[in-house]
């Protein structure tokens, strides 16, 4: 039996604009995780996928339609076996579970795909690099999201804070001083594909307006990279406010998100914004460790169905400089 996990993620700065080539900053969140377990199965069974949270069971190779929830899981398995050079259909059972809420801005699809890729590779005694895992997960993100930027698969497969620009080499972010987030869930599910599609329509209708908004978001992400590297946590809070105003202007906030963002600020957060696609899902608040629990309580009182406290600290800096992979 082989078990593998993958974390959730939050986008600190730059969602949506990142689809249009501007930078984004994202960090892994390990408090919630996806898990994949691969077991050998009796000869002739083929591959059976059990997705416990979705309450579904799928035989790989059986007829399936592309909007079936099992389709991305099956596609991940197929792509991974192909990459591993496994010929034919092996006999195994794949069980997938996840504590990452779906369609909530925490990268649940990418987390599940990453856990599947890792579990299959380990099961066949193979080691894939984080780049290879990320590339495979991106294939499934195309199914989930239509036009993904690639930020979700990157931050989750590398499990490091990243400064991400579509099509550019990955940059692992140097974190000058650890900081704390509270992540509040509105409980409203909001499929990324729908919100990204709406933003695309709005961009097509008013390209100049949206390009200018994306430029401003990109500038904030650049400033945030500097602030994070220098350990200037308060500056980061201000940048979060500014990014949230621009996300409102893009049209991806919602009354539920605004309520939680307002509650976090009133309870002493240094900054707060939605994270991920928006229109529901999760928001993040930048907090001091002393106030983290009180802000989590304030979010729950304002209707959050969950509030997670997460520390962003950082790993490897190379001689104190940003490390590139
Ligand atoms: O909602 P999530 O966690 O899938 O994040 C989506 C982030 C977007 O920038 C809106 C889309 C993308 O592909 O980067």
Q: Beta strand pairing status for 24-40 and 2-13? A: antiparallel
Query: Which pLDDT score is estimated for 14?
Result: 98
Ligand 1 pocket residue status of 276, Cβ below 6 Å: yes
Tell me the mean pLDDT in the region 153-178. Answer: 95
Q: Residue 188, SS3?
A: coil
Ligand 1 pocket residue status of 141, Cβ below 6 Å: no
pLDDT above 50 (res 243): yes
Q: Please give the domain boundaries of the chain with CATH numbers for all domains.
A: 2-164 (3.30.230.10), 174-324 (3.30.70.890)
Query: Which pLDDT score is estimated for 53?
Result: 86
pLDDT above 70 (res 316): no
Ligand 1 pocket residue status of 17, Cβ below 6 Å: no
Enter the tokens of residue 59.
């035989």
Concerning whether 208 is annotated as a catalytic residue, the answer is no
Q: What is the 3-state secondary structure (H, E, C) of 247-304?
A: HHHHCCCCHHHHHHHHHHHHCCCCEEEECCCCCCCEEEEEECCCCHHHHHHHHHHCCC
pLDDT above 80 (res 169): yes
Tell me the mean pLDDT in the region 282-306. Answer: 97
Least confident range from 67-71, 90-94, 165-169, 223-227: namely 67-71
**In whole numbers, what is the pLDDT of the chain averaged over residues?**
93
Query: Which pLDDT score is estimated for 62?
Result: 84
- Which ligand 1 atom sits closest to the C-alpha of 17? 9
Handedness of CA 169, 12, 100, 175 (dihedral sign): positive
> 195-212: buried (b, 16+ CB within 10 Å) or exposed (e) per residue?
bbeebbebbeeeeeebee
Enter the tokens of residue 148.
């993904």
- CB of 58 closer than 8 Å to CB of 74: yes
Enter the tokens of residue 325.
């992979």
- CB of 86 closer than 8 Å to CB of 124: yes
Catalytic residue among 135, 152, 185, 198: 152
Nearest to 6 by CA among 138, 159, 122, 133: 159
Ligand 1 pocket residue status of 149, Cβ below 6 Å: yes
DSSP annotation string for 89-120? ---EEEEEEE-SPTTSSS-HHHHHHHHHHHHH
d(CA 132, CA 117): 10
Nearest to 129 by CA among 168, 158, 169, 166: 158
**Residues contacting residue 259 through CB under 8 Å, at least 6 positions apart:** 302, 303
pLDDT above 80 (res 216): yes
Tell me the mean pLDDT in the region 37-45. Answer: 96
Q: Residue 84, SS3?
A: helix
CA of 148 to the centre of ligand 1 (A): 7
CA of 15 to the centre of ligand 1 (A): 6
Ligand 1 pocket residue status of 274, Cβ below 6 Å: no
Query: Which pLDDT score is estimated for 315?
Result: 63
Query: Which pLDDT score is estimated for 63?
Result: 81
**Residues contacting residue 182 through CB under 8 Å, at least 6 positions apart:** 264, 269, 284, 285, 287, 292, 295, 296, 299, 307, 308, 309, 310
Query: Which pLDDT score is estimated for 55?
Result: 85
Tell me the mean pLDDT in the region 151-163. Answer: 97
- Which ligand 1 atom sits closest to the C-alpha of 144? 4
pLDDT band at 156 (very low <50, low <70, confident <90, very high): very high
- CB of 186 closer than 8 Å to CB of 304: yes
Using most ligand atoms within 8 A of CB, pick from 147, 277, 278 the residue to mutate for ligand 1: 277
CB neighbours of residue 264 within 10 Å: 29
Enter the tokens of residue 153.
């698969």
Query: Which pLDDT score is estimated for 43?
Result: 95
Polymer length of the chain: 325
**Orientation of helix 130-145 relative to helix 192-205, angle to 10°:** 70
pLDDT above 50 (res 321): no
Tell me the mean pLDDT in the region 139-168. Answer: 94
Residue nearest atom 5 of ligand 1, based on CA coordinates: 276
pLDDT above 70 (res 318): no
CA of 301 to the centre of ligand 1 (A): 27
In whole angstroms, how far apart are CA 283 and each of 48, 102, 289, 308? 36, 14, 18, 11
pLDDT above 90 (res 287): yes
Enter the tokens of residue 80.
């991974």
């Amino acid at each position: 039996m082989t078990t593998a996990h993958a974390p959730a993620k939050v986008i600190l700065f730059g969602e949506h604009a990142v689809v249009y080539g501007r930078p984004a900053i994202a960090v892994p969140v390990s408090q919630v995780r996806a898990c994949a377990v691969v077991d050998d199965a009796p000869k002739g069974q083929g591959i059976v996928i059990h997705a416990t949270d979705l309450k579904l069971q799928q035989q790989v190779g059986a007829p399936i339609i592309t909007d079936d929830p099992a389709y991305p899981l099956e596609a991940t398995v197929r792509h991974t076996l192909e990459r591993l050079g496994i010929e034919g259909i092996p006999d195994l059972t794949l069980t997938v579970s996840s504590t990452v809420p779906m369609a909530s801005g925490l990268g649940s699809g990418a987390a599940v795909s990453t856990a599947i890729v890792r579990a299959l590779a380990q099961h066949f005694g193979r080691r894939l690099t984080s780049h290879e895992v990320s590339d495979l997960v991106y294939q499934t993100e195309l199914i989930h999201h239509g036009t993904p930027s690639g930020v979700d698969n990157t931050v989750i497969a590398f499990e490091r804070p990243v400064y991400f620009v579509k099509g550019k080499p990955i940059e692992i972010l140097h974190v000058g001083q650890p900081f704390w987030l509270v992540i509040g869930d509105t409980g409203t599910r909001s499929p990324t594909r729908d919100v990204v599609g709406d933003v695309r329509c709005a961009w097509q209708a008013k390209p100049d307006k949206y390009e200018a908004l994306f430029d401003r978001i990109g500038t904030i992400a650049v400033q945030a990279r500097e602030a994070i590297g220098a350990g200037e946590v308060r500056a980061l809070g201000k940048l979060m406010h500014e990014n949230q105003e621009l996300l409102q202007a893009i049209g991806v906030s919602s009354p539920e998100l605004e309520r939680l963002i307002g509650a976090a600020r009133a309870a002493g957060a240094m900054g707060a914004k939605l994270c991920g696609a928006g229109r529901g899902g999760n928001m993040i608040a930048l907090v001091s460790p002393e106030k983290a629990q009180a802000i989590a309580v304030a979010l729950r009182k304002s209707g959050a169905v969950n509030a997670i406290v997460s520390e962003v600290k950082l790993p490897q800096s190379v001689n104190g400089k940003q490390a590139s992979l």
